[in-house]
Amino acid sequence: MRISVIGAGSFGTALAKLVAENGHDTLIWSHSEDTAKVIEEHHENSIYLKEIKLPEKIHATTDFEKAAKFAELLISATPTQAIREVYTLNDRHRMLNAPIVVASKGIEKKSHMLVCDIFTDVFGGAKKKNLFFLSGPSFAREIALKMPTAITIAGYDVTHLPEIQKVFHNEYFRAYATEDVLGVELGGALKNVMAIATGIADGLKLGSNTRAAIITRGLAEIARLGEKLGAKPITFMGLAGMGDLVLTCTGDLSRNRTVGLKLGQGMTLKAIQSEMRMVAEGVPTTESAYELAAKLNVDMPITAAVYKVLYENMPAKDAIKELMGRSIKFE
């Protein structure tokens, strides 16, 4: 199968390596001439996935139309806030007829749309049966190093899920399937908010008890919003819920936990972002989740605390104090 990967960041590159090693001809599209050139000439993404050799059958381009025509399957791995621009620029979405597996996680600013809703909005409802969403505990570097990984792929059309699973599935990458697109999308988006929260606590050196409390109560918040929106509660107990939450809240490779860690250590958000080459999706997602929770009247105190630290300049210690000072209640 011919597969185009839209987005040459660390995760897009890792997925390209994975499917290429599974025997598929693979083309990576990058908006950056430098990144595409390095991949094409040196078979390495030295900017986003250093010291990982890529298969010879991977090629790269900055020509979107070429990538669209090449694809029998498309993997989309662009930052959430860039999705709409990438696919609507010059009516690019009209060039695409192949099934799309989406690996982005987050909530769009202003519209409060999940990634699945952005794609449906851009491509139209008729495309839904060809949209699939990959999520779960999966750091790009560990995938690229062939460390055993298990993820979930959600789709509106369950009849085509098995063939999509087979594209990714191998001896070190296990792909489960579900029809709960909404639950998978919410878990993937909101775990980044909770990772910032646990990072803040770790930066303040508050210990393992605090981290466990944030992860557990964070999952409760995610489930509350999911229930309000119609997701299946069981999804949040799986790989795209608890699995991804635990990984992102505890792993040293987590960009969102790193943001929180530095906030807890006293750095400003502006200074942190100026140091980061890659996008921490939890920062814009926190704003969207906070606004969405308020709109739907869903109690999300950890999300609110992270929002205040990021957008209202509340000191991290005060945010923790405010969380702990809330009125007592049943779990």
Question: Which strand (E) or helix (H) includes residue 258?
Answer: helix 255-264
Closest residue by Cα to residue 256 from 266, 269, 238: 269
Contact call for residues 196 and 168 (beta carbons, < 8 A): no
Other C-beta atoms closer than 10 Å to the C-beta of 100 total 22
Q: Looking at the structure, do residues 68 and 170 belong to the same domain, yes or no?
A: yes
Catalytic residue (one of 17, 191, 262, 308):
191
Query: What is the per-residue pLDDT across 191-228, written as a single tens digit (0 to 9) for each?
Result: 999 999 999 999 999 999 999 999 999 999 999 999 99
According to the model, what pLDDT value does residue 14 have?
Answer: 98
pLDDT surpassing 90 at residue 278: no
User: Quick one: pLDDT band at residue 276, thresholds 50, 70, 90?
Assistant: confident
DSSP for 85-112 reads HHHHGGGGGGG--S-EEE----B-TTT-
User: Quick one: pLDDT band at residue 330, thresholds 50, 70, 90?
Assistant: confident
User: Quick one: pLDDT band at residue 331, thresholds 50, 70, 90?
Assistant: confident
Query: What is the per-residue pLDDT across 84-117, written as a single tens digit (0 to 9) for each?
Result: 999 999 999 999 999 999 999 999 999 999 999 9
Helix (H, G, I), strand (E, B) or coil at 169: coil
Q: Looking at the structure, do residues 236 and 306 belong to the same domain, yes or no?
A: yes
Q: Looking at the structure, do residues 240 and 317 belong to the same domain, yes or no?
A: yes
User: Quick one: pLDDT band at residue 279, thresholds 50, 70, 90?
Assistant: confident
User: Quick one: pLDDT band at residue 289, thresholds 50, 70, 90?
Assistant: very high
Q: Looking at the structure, do residues 45 and 102 belong to the same domain, yes or no?
A: yes
- The single-letter code of the amino acid at 142 is E
Distance CA 199, CA 256 (A): 8
Looking at every residue in the chain, the average pLDDT score rounds to 96
Helix (H, G, I), strand (E, B) or coil at 261: helix
Q: Looking at the structure, do residues 23 and 78 belong to the same domain, yes or no?
A: yes
Closest residue by Cα to residue 197 from 320, 331, 325: 320
Q: Looking at the structure, do residues 220 and 115 belong to the same domain, yes or no?
A: no
Q: Looking at the structure, do residues 174 and 241 belong to the same domain, yes or no?
A: no
Contact call for residues 310 and 287 (beta carbons, < 8 A): yes
Which range marks the domain in which residue 79 is found? 2-179
- For this structure, is 191 an active site residue? yes
According to the model, what pLDDT value does residue 280 have?
Answer: 86
**Structural domain count of the chain:** 2
Closest residue by Cα to residue 119 from 69, 151, 77: 77
pTM of the model: 0.95
pLDDT surpassing 90 at residue 301: yes
Q: Looking at the structure, do residues 119 and 140 belong to the same domain, yes or no?
A: yes
DSSP for 207-247 reads -HHHHHHHHHHHHHHHHHHHHHHT--GGGGGSIIIIIHHHH
According to the model, what pLDDT value does residue 124 have?
Answer: 92
Choosing from 179, 201, 222, the residue where a domain stops is 179
